[in-house]
Structure 1
Amino acid sequence: MSLMNFQEMFDNAYEEIFNKVLVGKSIANLRFEKKLKYGESVERFAYDISGVKVRSTVRGNASTIDSISDTSELLTINLEKEAVFHISDGEVTQAGPLNPGEVIGGQIAIKVATDLDARILGEVVNAAYTFDTGDLTTGASTGVPFTLDSTNVPKAVVRMPAKLRSKNQTLTNLCWVIDSYGASDIEQYLMGKSIDLAGYVFKNGYAGTVRNADLIVSENLTGEAVLTLGEDVTANDTVTINGVKFTFVAALSSNPAVAGQIVAGANAAATRVNLAAALNAPGTTSATYTAVSAADLATLEDLKITATDDTTAKTVTVRAVGSGRLTVAEGLTHASNVWTYNFIHSYFGKKGAIDVVVQDMKKVDMRPTADKRGTNVFTSYLAGIKTFADGKKKFLDVLINA
């Protein structure tokens, strides 16, 4: 097999599978792509008419003149991502009829589509409104996620569009983006709904219709877990996220260092600071924590974690873009130091509320290596994602227990 054949098969497989599995394509607005063939940003103006009032008039009196204001927002092309691997000349020669370009192209397409999807779907946290336990009964959000069960599924299905309608949004072109577990719960509790959990993967996530909304399935939703840590920890207490364990110690081990150790602070507040710092830079060793192993670092990097210490609530919030449902555990001595919430951010609302520009998408760029026989294969994208102020009002951030 020649490299030219490898490249052709890679390109064909990549494009076909990428376009089929990219869920974000189904819900995003691509209106600015033609305008941003080059350049770094696009500026969009929006009018604010909230100050304009409908008033009674008095004949002969001067009218009250209200003001209209305008604001501008930027969509910036700031996501430059790549996937790179090496293939040796021998591998190409020995592959024969196995079509490694087709196989590898498909697998890389899924990785790149997953990364872009995660970032698009992660915009749900910028919604102007959430939908949670409070909305199931009162219409007032409480910040507490709910469980998809026989009681809550029917309520959510009718009350999510009701909340959007109450915010002056038309109930057209709607979608609900949920993961496979959530879709199975919906199918189970809404009898008679035809939801295709087997075939959604290669249909941009489309799995059927629930009321007047397209049900779109993605495993790339943003996951979030909240650890309440208001009391001092004890030496050898642990916190685990997706199998990566962190251990609190009085002092970091040396000669040898032990991966994943975190110094227990002088008080709970100091410990939270150390934990958040370790989660935000897990590959770096500092005075208060030791870097995790290479394998654990790969896991955490895939999760795209951001950890935030809340000094008022005495919590550490872990948000992971594209992780789906997080798996968390703790071995903390004090009974009140626990994971309080673990949930996913699901999108319900109008399609096209999130603006996406993919300015450049390189399916494959093959470059011979200088120091060894073979070729480095580059796949990349250059993109920008923005939820403008008016777009934020068109969808709900639905908080669902993991």
Structure 2
Amino acid sequence: MCNAFENMSFRYLSFQIYLPISDTLKYGLLALAIALFLAALIILVCKMRQYYSYKATPAGKDKKFISSSEVEKKNDGNLLIRSLSNVFFEDARKEQDSKIQQMQKEMEKLEVHLTPSPPSTESLDDLGSDSDHPQGPRGRLKYNLHYNKKSKTLRLCIIEATDLPEYSRDPFVRIRVFYKADGAHSEVLSVVHECETRVVKNSRNPVFDEDFSFSLKDYPLISTSIKLEVKDFDKYSRHTLIGETRTALTNLKVSETLELDEVLQDKTKDVIGEVLISLKCLPTAQKIEVGILKFKTSSSSIIKDRDVYARIDVFSNHHKQKHQKSSLRAKSKVTVFNETFLFSLPDPSKTQCLILISLYETQPTGKELIGQTTLGNQKTKLKADHWDMMLQTVRQPVADWHLLYI
């Protein structure tokens, strides 16, 4: 009976495993599987052969470099350049190299022209608010003066200028009345009054015909002088100085009109104040620290709601560094800044260095130069005591007063 049960179980299992598939279908599926395997094997062999041949040839490297670097952006979208011919690539690279070389040559030429020459401290005008002075005849200025002893008032009439240089287009006259007070610095002048005439457009013989009145109650004539500067107006740049004339009021007779027709002369410098400057040498950092501490003036023409600021220009070894400016301060007899500025200076004892300090006054129409001073280690008439003191006290600030010129 047990054997009969086992026979029945075996028959049942045989019936469950049996699949009714014909031999033709079985052999067909087997052939399809073998064909797919062979196709995959052939594709794999071809890809491996293509990879090794691509890796072995130098052209593959060029194609790899081009595909990773040659990208061009167009207006209607971004297009990636997949391939470039070797000839076109070589021509493009040669053309690019020639353009780079040409640009380098042009930059060298520009650097030669733009690099400023070492500035001369004999004249501050080359670095100041005025442009280069013209050569040759400068023209003449006609004006008259009248002093009223009772009211102690000086009347000035600017009549006309004649025979100005050809480049003079829009001339005007700047007027300054100076007073020289007795004191510790007898050369310091006080600007008592300052004003300007109107600008005459497109004329070499401008007729001004303008009257000015100045009160001189507290200023005796023996210590007073008047300075007239004829300038060419420039809206977008610095005014060009054409020439100047100066008249001392010592010999001005009372109640008589003094008529003058003076030849315009070259610019002269006047001391109008002092500025306290500190210097500190930092050899490890290869820098120099310039400090603007105080500005002192004896000028009585202090106008309210006007600010002043200082500008520092540093010239080292024929190169001009980027200038720096102080913050605005309210103008007064003694204006306190207390600001320091850092400039690069590798070797202060050997590097030729010139520091230009310019003080400006803000006005509704722009800025106006108050005065300038220079210091440094160049072999000039300027005193180098301050610079020598800085070199002797490394990493310690040294302050000293410097005269301010205009």
TM interval, shorter chain, is under 0.3
Does 1 or 2 have the higher relative contact order (CA < 8 Å, sep 6+)?
1
